[in-house]
A = this chain, B = another copy of it.
């Protein structure tokens, strides 16, 4: 790592020009030395460690500041990187983290998604169309009932059958029993159809269980794993994505992350949280609520996530976007136009209304 190499972070700031500029200056200190300028004991620190306002300009109703930090401050760690870009200032209002730009010497610490768009396409053997995904639910079904549901979905052409994100290890259906039944059911269905449908197990859990569940799921035949980094922390997802013993695609779920994006004046942008951070932390698929569903994301928010998942980011592979949350069959054409073909349609309840088998087949037909 060359001395003095820095990474750049863009913030959207509220208030008057004077207030916003002062805020940008404060961020430079708050996120590094946590001391006012006059108490910094060495010139080296003032010159090299403190953040620097590189750009400051008006943008729409806000101001935008690009601040650079020394790569050394982030200590080659995802956790400390998160702390530098948004640790203490998350506690202040009027600051929104928009995006970051990383030099090669820093981004090399992060392998990113192990599969990415191309890798996941190879697994499900579908190269030129959107992929189809659904969620096993509701919580409260027995493992055998989940298995039967998984079988129906696979038999009727759904590529990716994932646990609902609330299914962990409930007494209704234990993790091991559910995962075994569902993986087995999908394998059986694939023998009938000749498709390559896959089962994605939710492994969101505490640190003592996490890797055990991932390994169990792999051995049972799951071909992907889901984790909610808002609950586990981004680093646990990173550890999963780069674990060569596991080596399965990672699906990132947005649960418990929403508070970062509900305000336009604070928190983290959709682009950065669901796009950049997910990719940096190794997620092959970013699940998020589609616009026009039962959540609040706008079309612009979703377009921003899609852009962040696909644009150039050093050596880091492109990730799939998977919009969901109250989606239905009659929106598929519109979504295909909006997202292009590198999208995973996540339709849960919408497939259960009426006849599940014919819903799935109709959906699959729309993909050809």
Contact = CB atoms under 8 A, between A and B. Distances in A.
A205 B275 CA distance: 22
A254 interface: yes
Interface stretch (A60-68, A83-91, A111-119): A83-91
A16 interface: no
A93 B49 contact: no
A83 B259 contact: no
A261 B267 CA distance: 10
Interface of A is mostly: loop
A135 B34 contact: yes
Interface string A212-251: 0000000000000000101111011011000000000000
A205 B91 contact: no
Contact of A75 (B88, B168, B228): B168
Interface string A333-350: 000000000000000110
Interface of A: 1, 26, 30-36, 39-42, 44-45, 48-49, 72-73, 75-80, 82-84, 86-93, 135, 137-141, 164-166, 168-172, 204-209, 228, 230-233, 235-236, 238-239, 254-263, 266-268, 289, 294-297, 325, 348-349, 352-353
A95 to B, nearest CB: 9
A201 to B, nearest CB: 14
